[in-house]
Chains A and B, each alone.
Chain A
Amino acid sequence: MEIPEERLRWIYERMVTIRRFEDRVAQEFAAGKLPGFVHLYAGEEAIAVGVCAHLTDRDYITSTHRGHGHCIAKGVDVRSMMAELFGRSTGACKGKGGSMHIADVDKGMLGANGIVGGGPPLACGAGLMAKVKSTDQVAACFFGDGAAEQGTTHEAMNLAAIWKLPVVFVCENNLYAESTPWTYHCAASDIASRAAAYDMPGVLVDGADVFAVYEAAGEAITRARRGEGPSLLECRGFRYYGHFQGDAVTYRTKEEEEEYRRRDPIERFRKTVLSQGLLTEDELNAIDEAVAREIEQAVRFAEASPLPSPEECLTDVYVDYPVAQLAFRH
């Protein structure tokens, strides 16, 4: 599948933005500037970007604990994202969601999800909306290898299949559900073959190769837009950081980590586009510099933004509800 030059630039720019964003978040978190905890996506950029390269703002995605990469690939503003992680009032969710619930419905991003397996039924709902309203919108559902074992994921795949919903299930198999290897928690030798149980196409993809992801996702999304129903992609990838920041990652070996870093999705992209003469080194370097500036500005924006007023706690619970019943009694 040939990728237009403009899209190639976009793919590189989004992947580098995710990498720099996550590296910077790791740094700010270590410096104690972020409340709560964070799950970082670095290493898996090719999956979110390869899929979202086929989507517009009108399409929807659901996400996981590890949702920053999905947000960036779907076009959520990185300044509002960084501000959200800093807990500021200018954040994408006004400081009410944080890393694990970061969302921007206007961009079709239906939220990172703190519940493993929380997203797949929601993606069916977005697909159902498109079907009932007869639009050509699609929903891409990102979920991890851990969520592959949740009942909701199976229920959602079955529902999408019987209703022929425009949903693409994207399993990001990053080899570990928290500290538990997928070879232990999964009874089968791959997750993609579960598609057979729901009579949908299932494809195993190298999740570190953005060209492979782009091609497989393109087929699945085209099929969904044509009203031919859902598909399942299993993208094998690797997260460079631990499950969360602070995870000592005792379950992986140095050798395994080095092996996966040799397959780095961003380096591979650079080599491919340079060797094939698709983009120039100068172009790529210019993107690197622009992204570095953008991330720096995002951190400055977040730090300069005010914390929400404490009473802001009481808003956005409902569209309409008696305020007195939301507040403390005393």
Chain B
Amino acid sequence: MVVATRVISYREALNEAIRLEMRRDPAVVIMGEDIAGGAGIGHVENVGAWGGVLGVTKSLVSEFGRQRVLDTPISEAGFIGAAVGAAVTGLRPIAELMFVDFFGVCMDQIFNQGAKLRYMFGGKAKVPLVIRTMIGAGFGAAGQHSGSHYAVFTHMPGLKTVAPATPYDAKGLLIAAIRDDDPVIFFEHKLLYDTTGEVPEEEYVIPLGKADVKRAGSDVTVVAIARMVHVALEAAARLAGEGIDVEVIDLRTLSPLDEEAILESLAKTRRLVVVDEDNPRCSVAADIAALAVDRGFDYLDAPVKMVTAPHTPVPFSPSMEQFYIPSPQRVINAIREVI
């Protein structure tokens, strides 16, 4: 058991995971728009300008140089595809797709190349690729910079999908993703970057495909993803005063899905609410609800409830954006319906 004493941010935890893995393995390279920034400009050549649009990859260029920290043109199909090609031929690239909403311009390289090459080649290829990408509403960034969209990738065979909620999980899961021999899409919620938590300084791995019970409880299971874990925990804290004991399960990995953890909790609480910031149709929330009625039907004492975004793009104005994002109150309302 690792003893954690140091408190750092989610952003710093991600940076540390990349730094440790780049030290450990010279095949790890990172690429993306402005991940160092200022390429070719003398006075920032060795230190970088931005270190990523929100600073996650800050100062990595100072330690590893421009050969392994590659600023790219705004050319997602080109560099995401190059990351796939580099992964197949012997590197372990970490490519940054700045906002997940940009997947539309490079999806062929993710879906038809990265996700399928191993299968189409009869198992002769490995694609040890990580695509880090930013998700989530709450920044006032509106329709094309605020979506979650992890369900799109979770749907695709050949990809693994990860969405950490805490700094501790962010570091351990990113290290696991980098060491994984399959392509992993790693979703970082933009409102979590400044959140803090205890994170050990040394390297550690959180296995992909394992959910985590963030709060043990006996009356109802709430399954949540990324920032929604915190929304669920707040709802749980508010209900605790009324004697309602909520169990909060943080999925952490969406594909593969920790079905057993969900079913075990359901066997105990017999009630399920799923909280998901993504749109509801064909969503991870709907997938978990389907799992509950297919494999967990006998446990259920109440209907399964999904608390999700509406089936709309993310709106701009704060009044509508707050309406869009699942809130602790909506989680509480759903829990009251099943208790």
Q: Tell me whether B263 is interfacial, beta carbon within 8 Å.
A: no
- CB-defined contacts of A93 to chain B, threshold 8 Å: 120-122, 124
Q: Tell me whether B318 is interfacial, beta carbon within 8 Å.
A: no
Distance to closest chain A CB from B67 (angstroms): 6
Q: Tell me whether B330 is interfacial, beta carbon within 8 Å.
A: no
Cβ-defined contact, A159 with B78, below 8 A: yes
Q: Tell me whether B86 is interfacial, beta carbon within 8 Å.
A: yes
- CB-defined contacts of A110 to chain B, threshold 8 Å: 85, 88-89
- A127→B90 CA distance, assembly (Å): 11
- A111→B67 CA distance, assembly (Å): 27
Q: Tell me whether A293 is interfacial, beta carbon within 8 Å.
A: no
- CB-defined contacts of B160 to chain A, threshold 8 Å: 318, 321
Distance to closest chain A CB from B45 (angstroms): 15
Cβ-defined contact, A162 with B90, below 8 A: no
Complex interface: stretch among A24-32, A44-52, A128-136, A218-226: A128-136
Interface string of B74-88 (1 = CB under 8 A from A): 010111111111111
Number of A-B contacts (CB under 8 A): 169
Question: Which one of B73, B121, B123, B157 contacts A315 once the chains associate, using CB atoms below 8 Å?
Answer: B123
Distance to closest chain B CB from A85 (angstroms): 13
Task: Specify the chain B residue showing the minimal Cβ separation from A91.
Answer: B122
Q: Tell me whether B126 is interfacial, beta carbon within 8 Å.
A: yes
Q: Which of B78, B87, B181, B256 has the most CB of A within 10 A?
A: B78
Q: Tell me whether B29 is interfacial, beta carbon within 8 Å.
A: yes
B66-120 contacts to A (CB < 8 Å): 67-68, 70, 72-73, 75, 77-91, 93, 108-109, 112-113, 116-120
Q: Tell me whether B198 is interfacial, beta carbon within 8 Å.
A: no
Complex interface: stretch among A8-16, A148-156, A231-239: A148-156
The answer to whether residues A124 and B120 also contact, given A60-B89, A129-B89, A155-B75 and a CB cut-off of 8 A, is no
- CB-defined contacts of B122 to chain A, threshold 8 Å: 91-97, 316
- CB-defined contacts of B180 to chain A, threshold 8 Å: 319-320
Q: Tell me whether A158 is interfacial, beta carbon within 8 Å.
A: yes
Interface string of B123-159 (1 = CB under 8 A from A): 1111000000000000000000000000000000110
Complex interface: stretch among A98-106, A241-249, A260-268: A98-106
Question: Which one of B86, B87, B256 contacts A321 once the chains associate, using CB atoms below 8 Å?
Answer: B256
- CB-defined contacts of A101 to chain B, threshold 8 Å: 116, 120-121
Task: Specify the chain A residue showing the minimal Cβ separation from B78.
Answer: A155
- Interface pairs A-B: 5 shortest CB-CB: A125-B85, A121-B81, A155-B78, A316-B123, A94-B122
